[in-house]
Structure 1
């Protein structure tokens, strides 16, 4: 072992001793009380080896009971009633057997001349049973104390987190209020342009109107709305489609299927419109023989949203994965196991998305 290894080992031991200094101090006081004070009153002391052997057993019993027996016995509430008595009984048996073995070694292999004799009667077994129960009781109290301190620490951490969340919410609300000034100005400007262009350039005015509606919806959806009606999302998808149709002179090949009844279903905002935006950004939507499709339907009390589109020959996947992963995280946070979200590229170079949400 090199000098560096020895130094590292020494530092680890020193760190462990400092970490356990309270335990060491308490055990030192306890052993001093029992070995010295009781010895003075009784008028008899044992050899140092005897103290080391039996107190090592008692200390090991204490920590084994607190960290192993109590932990596994109380892990499942439905099994506590039989596990705890069984584990304690087994622990007592093992303690007694170890005590007998240590007594045998002490009597036959050391110069011990004390009062202990290997006579297997009630008096012989009474002492180790008492000592085992004595340390197990202390260990049980220690176990519940540790749990209490751990739960209190969790509560304190949750309270700190709650306060931090309140502070962050307050900061976010302040930033949001400041950010409202610019959108408000933008919407007023777009409305002014729309009013002046609708007579002279109806196509441009229609594009401006669709764009303004979509932007207003996007801003409103970032407020405290957790759920919205699909009706709102469908309207904005139609605005988005209309905007792109105007840009491409109505050559966009996109079919949008849904029943009017589905408009009253509630969903988290900006899911459907994000999926459609990805289709326009990354898909080939100008081929009449391969039209893209968006379908919304309810089957078996589940909302199903499916999209499919031919992939562009020149791929531009920037932002595709991040947008879809963002949807997946939002769905998982809100719906948990009640939502399934999958997307694949099939052998025909179609990109297909399937979202299923279990309705309440």
Structure 2
């Protein structure tokens, strides 16, 4: 309540100062510049009080009630009524009241009805014109605040939705951890590895790669919610080796990496999920169009590029949420510090991700 009262007082004083400045400029123009030294101060005070009445009546009543609601005919009628009232008030104040109060001074400088009408209309026109500007500025600020409020509300809802999705995925991951005993899983994979290490070394290598990927997926992330880029790169190497083994090396995959700072941190499973999407929907059996993957990283940026030929016909089962989840998660973690560009053409698919600035957080 005290804050609102202070705001009203501040607004009152601002308006009063502006009116005093406006009145001072007008008096200087008419008295000094135009050469009317016998103008009586009391008359000017009355004139500006009348102007203020029609200024605020138009800005605070006529324009909001009629003009904003597109009742232009009603607004025009009321505007003409205000003009008539203005002329009557000017006549009563300047001709009758001033004649009674000022006596000889007012009689010596009495105006003709024509001059009085022109003067009153001119002052009314100024007040109406200025009120239009004041109303428009206030309306613009109000609409800007409304748009800003809507954007803030939409941003809050989007953050809440992303939080719900994240909580759901974390819950599902926790449920998965409770359903699968990691020790049992890794012991079993270790047993398979020992059984085939001598007879099928390529299968043994695939088991090792799968073990590393699953260990990375099942373990909890660090307290900051990030993992090292080095771990993400290792998972990419393991995933590529598994796919090559799966198709008896009859796939063409080019993975180029230039990582000058392997200890950078990144959102977990971001890069490997994007690569999995290429494996699901890409054709890697054409030597003329291999799956091309490039990773560049330095202390200030991480750049990840994927280009593949599309596969037509039967595809692997996909729930379709991987890429959408990565995009939303990137927007949440790096709202202004990442660019995700996807060029989805008829025969080829290209993805380019770049994370810059403070998003590339170095390990302490």
TM-score (norm 1): 0.52
The alignment yields a C-alpha RMSD, in angstroms, of 4.9
- Which residue of structure 1 lines up, in the alignment, with residue 240 of structure 2? 241
Counterparts in 2 of 1:85 and 1:350: CA distance versus 1, 3 Å: farther
Question: Does the CA contact (< 8 Å) of 2:254 and 2:293 recur in 1?
Answer: yes
Question: Does the CA contact (< 8 Å) of 2:209 and 2:242 recur in 1?
Answer: yes
Structure 2 CA distance for aligned equivalents of residues 344 and 92 of structure 1: 66
Counterparts in 2 of 1:173 and 1:345: CA distance versus 1, 3 Å: closer
- Which shifted more, 198-207 or 331-340? 198-207
- Which residue of structure 2 lines up, in the alignment, with residue 179 of structure 1? 177
Counterparts in 2 of 1:85 and 1:325: CA distance versus 1, 3 Å: farther
- Which residue of structure 2 lines up, in the alignment, with residue 252 of structure 1? 251
Structure 2 CA distance for aligned equivalents of residues 292 and 253 of structure 1: 6
- Which residue of structure 2 lines up, in the alignment, with residue 354 of structure 1? 352
Structure 1 CA distance for aligned equivalents of residues 307 and 313 of structure 2: 18
Q: Return the offset for 1:246.
A: 1.1
Question: Does the CA contact (< 8 Å) of 1:221 and 1:269 recur in 2?
Answer: no
Deviations 1:257-300 (A, max 9, x none): 11242422221111110111111111001111211111012489
Structure 2 CA distance for aligned equivalents of residues 81 and 306 of structure 1: 61
Q: Return the offset for 1:351.
A: 0.5
Alignment of 1:139-218 (within 5 A): 176=174, 179-180=177-178, 182-184=180-182, 185-218=184-217
Structure 2 CA distance for aligned equivalents of residues 301 and 93 of structure 1: 65
Runs of 4+ with >6 A deviation = 87-95, 172-175
Name structure 2 gaps, 5 residues minimum. 23-47, 58-80, 89-95, 102-155, 359-364
Structure 1 CA distance for aligned equivalents of residues 227 and 20 of structure 2: 57
Name structure 1 gaps, 5 residues minimum. 1-65, 75-79, 109-117, 122-157
Question: Does the CA contact (< 8 Å) of 2:259 and 2:296 recur in 1?
Answer: no
Counterparts in 2 of 1:252 and 1:226: CA distance versus 1, 3 Å: same
Structure 2 CA distance for aligned equivalents of residues 84 and 183 of structure 1: 76
Structure 1 CA distance for aligned equivalents of residues 243 and 173 of structure 2: 32
Question: Does the CA contact (< 8 Å) of 1:282 and 1:315 recur in 2?
Answer: no
Q: Return the offset for 1:223.
A: 6.6
Alignment of 1:40-79 (within 5 A): none
- Which residue of structure 1 lines up, in the alignment, with residue 362 of structure 2? none
Counterparts in 2 of 1:92 and 1:293: CA distance versus 1, 3 Å: farther
Question: Does the CA contact (< 8 Å) of 1:292 and 1:308 recur in 2?
Answer: yes
Question: Does the CA contact (< 8 Å) of 1:344 and 1:352 recur in 2?
Answer: yes
- Which residue of structure 1 lines up, in the alignment, with residue 333 of structure 2? 334
Q: Secondary structure at the match of 1:258?
A: strand
Structure 1 CA distance for aligned equivalents of residues 246 and 252 of structure 2: 13
Q: What is the number of equivalent residue pairs in this alignment? A: 239
Deviations 1:5-37 (A, max 9, x none): xxxxxxxxxxxxxxxxxxxxxxxxxxxxxxxxx
Question: Does the CA contact (< 8 Å) of 1:307 and 1:353 recur in 2?
Answer: yes
Alignment of 1:2-41 (within 5 A): none
Counterparts in 2 of 1:270 and 1:178: CA distance versus 1, 3 Å: closer
Question: Does the CA contact (< 8 Å) of 1:262 and 1:297 recur in 2?
Answer: no
Counterparts in 2 of 1:356 and 1:87: CA distance versus 1, 3 Å: farther
Alignment of 1:61-140 (within 5 A): 86=18, 96-97=53-54, 119=97
Question: Does the CA contact (< 8 Å) of 1:303 and 1:359 recur in 2?
Answer: no
Counterparts in 2 of 1:290 and 1:229: CA distance versus 1, 3 Å: same
Counterparts in 2 of 1:311 and 1:175: CA distance versus 1, 3 Å: closer
Structure showing greater relative contact order (alpha-carbon pairs closer than 8 Å, 6 or more residues apart)? 2
Q: Secondary structure at the match of 2:302?
A: strand
TM-score (norm 2): 0.52
Question: Does the CA contact (< 8 Å) of 1:290 and 1:310 recur in 2?
Answer: yes
Q: Secondary structure at the match of 1:336?
A: coil
Question: Does the CA contact (< 8 Å) of 1:284 and 1:311 recur in 2?
Answer: yes
Structure 2 CA distance for aligned equivalents of residues 321 and 173 of structure 1: 19
Q: Secondary structure at the match of 1:340?
A: strand
